[in-house]
Structures are given as structure tokens and as C-alpha cells.
Amino acid sequence: MQILLWSTLGLLITSFAFAHGVAEGDANFLQSKEGLQFWPYFYLGAKHMVTGYDHLLFLGGVIFFVSRLRDVGIYVSLFAIGHSLTLITGVWLNITANAYLVDAVIGFSVVYKAFDNLGGCSRLGLNIPPEPMVFVFGLIHGFGLATKLQELALDPNGLIGNLLAFNIGVEVGQLLALLFMLLGLVVWRRSRRFTQQAIFANIAIMLAGLLLIGYQLSGYYLAH
């Protein structure tokens, strides 16, 4: 359990540096392709989710104390629906926004969920139902990726099909990542020190979200 905890903390500390970025090699690859390219977009979508630490931090926070598999399925489905809507429509309809500010809100979603897990929201009298919260933040997470894809010169021919392929890859990657997260949590919860370690883990998640917010707001002000 100590290895799992320290691995999680290391992941959180580096999360802000990798959030939503499209690697230069992947960007060049996408821009060089014409027409429908299902499998390349599917692969890059799955890769994005597996390495999209901001997504995983938020989803990890959402399922951290959830014990019923049915509830996990509901939250993940709501997040996936929201994420898919804004990812596809944002790029297809060219709905623009400042990428730094969108990613700062994504960082806030991580902070909010960890703060809620620590009981902060209930102490402030903020009893927001988890279902609409997960869906709304799913919309924002999807739009964050859309702002990155909009920076690329993607071929309009077959665009909607490629976006669907990319989104399917994202969801498959999400399911794989969640499977490992759930298995890790199931084992971790059996530890007698889980309650104490969970506090430190959620503090680390919140700090990672704050780092992401600071990183993105700094980028915004430097760009302006």
C-alpha cells in the first residue's frame, strides 16, 4: 500500500505538466493525415486518456469513496456523455474559448472533488448532488481537449468520423484506466491505514489541482 500511495502522489505532482497537451509528434501525425483515419484517431484518443492525468485525477476523486459498482457506472457514464458532447461539437462547430482558462477550470474540478472528499463542502453547507456535478465537469473536460484539437490543421474531410473514432478511443482508455484504479482502491481499502492515507491522498489531489490552476493562469497572463 505504501508503494501505491507514493506512486499516486508522484502522479499528482506531475499532473499539471501533462494536462490536455497534444504531443508535437502526435500533432504532426494528425495534421499529415487526410480523410477518415479511424484507427490512428482511436489510438491517440486512448493514449490521451491514459496519459491525461487531469481526467484521471478528477475521476479518481469521484470514485475514491464510492463502494457500489452501480454508482461508479453512473458517474463514469455521466462524465463520458458530457466529455463526448463538448469534444465533438466543440471541434466540429468550431466553438472557441481560451484554452488556458478552460484548463484552469479543469484544475478547479480536481480541487473541488478532493475538497468535497475531505468533507469541506458539507462543512460549508454546499450539498451539491454528485450526478449533475460530474456531468457539468465532464462537459468542461471535453471542451478542454476540443480547444487543443482546434489548434491543429485537421483535414475537414472525414472530420466527424475521425472525431468519433478519437472519442471512442478516449472512452476505451478511460475504462482501462478506471479498471486499474478500481482494483487499486479495492485492495487499498482493505488496509487498516486506509482512512488516514485517504486524507493525505486527497490533500495531494487538491494540491495537484491548485498547481494546475496556477500553471494555466500563469500561461494565460503571460500570453496576454
User: What SS3 string covers 176-219?
Assistant: HHHHHHHHHHHHHCCCCCHHHHHHHHHHHHHHHHHHHHHHHHHH
| pTM for this predicted structure | 0.88
Instruction: Tell whether 47 is covered by a domain.
Output: no
Instruction: Tell whether 120 is covered by a domain.
Output: yes
Which of 32-36, 67-71, 205-209 holds the top average pLDDT? 205-209
Instruction: Tell whether 177 is covered by a domain.
Output: yes
Instruction: Tell whether 180 is covered by a domain.
Output: yes
Instruction: Tell whether 196 is covered by a domain.
Output: yes
Instruction: Tell whether 92 is covered by a domain.
Output: yes
The pLDDT, as a whole number, for residue 29 is 75
Instruction: Tell whether 61 is covered by a domain.
Output: yes
The pLDDT, as a whole number, for residue 199 is 96
Phi-psi category of residue 96: left, alpha or beta, with phi > 0 → left and psi -120 to 50 → alpha = beta
Least confident of 47-51, 204-208, 217-221: 47-51
The pLDDT, as a whole number, for residue 13 is 47
Q: How confident is the model at residue 22 (pLDDT cuts 50, 70, 90)?
A: low
Q: How many structural domains is the chain composed of?
A: 1
> What residue type is assigned to position 175 of the chain?
L
DSSP 7: H
Domain, as residue range, for 169: 52-223
pLDDT tens figures, 74-126: 999 999 999 999 999 999 999 999 999 999 999 999 999 999 999 999 999 98
Q: Which three cell numbers stand for residue 20?
A: 490536455
Q: How many CB atoms lie within 10 A of CB 184?
A: 15
pLDDT tens figures, 159-180: 999 999 999 999 999 999 999 9
Instruction: Tell whether 34 is covered by a domain.
Output: no
The pLDDT, as a whole number, for residue 23 is 67
- At residue 21, the 3 state secondary structure works out as coil
